[in-house]
Structure 1
């Protein structure tokens, strides 16, 4: 039951959101987003000490001019980015919040939007067109309760694996460590709050639209958001029991949700990525061991999706694109070539394929060595790098900006570098299966710019050395001797005494 007092309060807070007059003119091609003192959103720690970390350093997401999801990480005191509007009157982007939640915002094409952050680090938008539009952009803000669910939207908690697992364990009567038990949230009460929140948001926007204080597009957007969240909640309910009945029910929800008119929305692309894993689980696709670890057999998933005739055309092509991206990320060159050809045959979308090829350096020819690119774009092979530093011990760290364990080890890595500063040890960091833009940005964030050398691996997919060294998971550490020979292909990480004992030993030889 929605309390009238609460509804009246929300209406009062949003009453300034008055519709702008509509003028018939050519579609505006972009919106400008300005970040003021952007706050790092890639990590969050609960009051109990439990930590969350996102796989990507990016926390701003939009659909780029190619038509696929692109991430951005603002930096400095102020930063800005131009996002395409795809000939729509309003465009959606996602802004991460404390590594656990992605918040969707719908902004007007042609506007210059300034993003500032409240005391909790939550993004608050300001329109350059009018204060009334600012109210529209922030219409979700009054619904947030900073004193419940650690300040997150209840749907974000409900669909988070950590909280799902604790709730399931308690339901099953499993023994739960005390520290995790403190993070327990009653999902029955949580589900009630989610349902009440949806209803309150609908009533509020309906009232404002009827009073002509909010453009109808925001009512449509809220309906879309609610349907998207209902899908996510339904999938979470069946996460630990994804049987045939659950798959069929959720698959029907996906089919009802799919709509090619939504392909410019960033959150829609997130749904399409989730659908790939829904398809993999529901079709009982096997988990296989690849060069990057254990993962779904995405080539098999791609074949299943290709043969489906119940998915709208543009939506299906995007799903095939993201499935191909998973194949590029996790599988070998032969798989990549085969399913690249399939993607082009099914979609004829050379623009998206060229974008993916550039993003992952897919055009690099096979080589026995690792081809490396330095921060100043100089290229060198790993074997040449070992020769260059002959007479010194090399401690090599394979890592990536998206790798949470890699990032967690960096404070220890900094301590180790400081301890061996001035000694004949060279610390080399090799970005493996990474994206160059994110790699460069993360180096600054993690303070990897002193007492070390940084290189981006240009050919992780085509280098035979990767297979020879058996680099399947990261972080991975190796040591080269003063003679330039690989003496420890599985060296310890930077924390602890073991690595120090080894480095001292090789320095003494």
Structure 2
């Protein structure tokens, strides 16, 4: 009996030992799959071309988290670290360059890399334990040499404003529009640069595969990334309204763990919208995204891809349609995707259940009010209202003249009110600080932009937009002069004297 007890005890200890070893091994395997990304003073600055072409800022870093969500991230300016996880042989990291283009890096599972910048803010990767991989990670940096215009890849120029400049060069020269001339590049030169790049790219990844320094999986992914570049280059000059069908073969949940796949689907949506006549005629404006939603929802896409596509449609619909339309398509979206998170976020963001008879406002500290209360508070003063948004370039160009206008009327019976329209709270707060509005008393975000009868009454469709209330709180100027217009002071003074 005693011997049996000893045997059972030994067996129990051995089982614990092997279980512990198995757990340690599993933990070790999980750690080896993690990818550590260290940012060393990675802080690219806003960029304008020689002729002044600029883009609105895009997220500096994008990656997929372990739940399959796309994460947009801005590293700390001095040093920062993120950890990527992947069940695949690699994880993909996206880094923006000059706010015009994303560079996608398939980073090998288990690696630790440091990201720095060259003198032109181009990202450079350095592997801590496998320096031989630096040649692979930075291959795009080498391939760009001599094949860029305005510091950007030829495919970026072919997919953007440079095409319009090249097509209108005779008119531009005749009018001596020097800023546009500074960005001019002939289309055949852009095509030649891109073809040279594609040939060199293909030769390089073929060599890597031949030398067995990249796996078949990574080789195939690099080919996929080249296809993505090719789609961007075709956007403006492509006249085939059925081109989107070619891309549908590449729509698969297999790629949903890559940030580049989201850009792929963006291009697919662009080509899809060109197929819809009403959108094509209106230069792709957002007013027909309901039709895009309806077309996409009838296609046999896999669940993750369908959700990404319809989520983009919902975003456009929520920013450009009435509360009734938004609610209708949110219900459709929920029925197809079962994604309650986006459904609830949109409801909350646009305050769709709020009192439609009021223009609801929230200040930077989170305190709420409405336009009616604001007018009562400042009765006896002229009120100059500025409708703007963080994403609106013309709006933000007027902020410096607006600051001068505020200074001019300091101590007088004039109140300047800033109302952020169709904006997110995080973007609005950041922009408000940048534009010197954070400390201003009358700086608000509209929390029911899509559900306010007030905005319907003043027919607010485009921003920037400026209106003026007189000292009695009556709306007297539906389209007031912008701050940089010399007529602004004349109009304000007229109501100030009354």
TM-score by length of 2: 0.83
* Cα deviation digits, residues 284-330 of structure 1 (max 9, x gap): 245799xxx95341111111112223x44422232122112111111
Say whether 1:350 aligns with 2:352: no
Equivalence for 1:408 = 397
- Number of residue equivalences: 469
Whether the 8 Å CA contact 1:62–1:266 is kept in 2: the answer is yes
Equivalence for 2:260 = 267
What CA RMSD, in Å, does the superposition of the two structures yield over aligned residues? 3.3
Pick closer, same or farther for the CA change 1:32–1:373 going to 2, 3 Å: farther
Equivalence for 1:323 = 313
Higher deviation after alignment, 438-447 or 103-112: 103-112
Pick closer, same or farther for the CA change 1:158–1:473 going to 2, 3 Å: same
Taking the aligned partners of 2:207 and 2:228, their CA distance within structure 1 comes to 22
Say whether 1:284 aligns with 2:277: yes
Say whether 1:165 aligns with 2:155: no
Equivalence for 1:397 = 386
* Cα deviation digits, residues 37-82 of structure 1 (max 9, x gap): 62333x41x32x333232x56444444677555544556x437475
Give the SS at the match of 2:461.
coil
Say whether 1:373 aligns with 2:362: yes
Larger Rg: 2
Taking the aligned partners of 1:264 and 1:386, their CA distance within structure 2 comes to 50
Taking the aligned partners of 1:496 and 1:475, their CA distance within structure 2 comes to 13
Taking the aligned partners of 2:32 and 2:322, their CA distance within structure 1 comes to 43
Alignment of 1:18-29 (within 5 A): 24-25=29-30
Offset at 1:183?
A: 2.8
Say whether 1:38 aligns with 2:27: no
Higher deviation after alignment, 85-94 or 394-403: 85-94
Equivalence for 2:223 = 223
Pick closer, same or farther for the CA change 1:123–1:337 going to 2, 3 Å: same
Offset at 1:172?
A: 11
Taking the aligned partners of 1:441 and 1:30, their CA distance within structure 2 comes to 30
Equivalence for 1:18 = none
Q: What are the ranges of 5 or more consecutive residues in structure 1 without an aligned counterpart? A: 1-22
Pick closer, same or farther for the CA change 1:478–1:172 going to 2, 3 Å: closer
Equivalence for 1:335 = 325
Give the SS at the match of 2:358.
coil
Q: What are the ranges of 5 or more consecutive residues in structure 2 without an aligned counterpart? A: 1-27
Equivalence for 1:383 = 372
Match of 1:53 among 52, 55, 68: 55
Alignment of 1:391-470 (within 5 A): 391-451=380-440, 453-470=442-459
Offset at 1:226?
A: 0.6
Taking the aligned partners of 2:197 and 2:481, their CA distance within structure 1 comes to 49
Equivalence for 2:15 = none
Taking the aligned partners of 1:171 and 1:342, their CA distance within structure 2 comes to 49
Equivalence for 1:234 = 234
Taking the aligned partners of 2:421 and 2:313, their CA distance within structure 1 comes to 20
Higher deviation after alignment, 410-419 or 319-328: 410-419
Match of 2:299 among 278, 287, 308: 308
Offset at 1:347?
A: 2.0
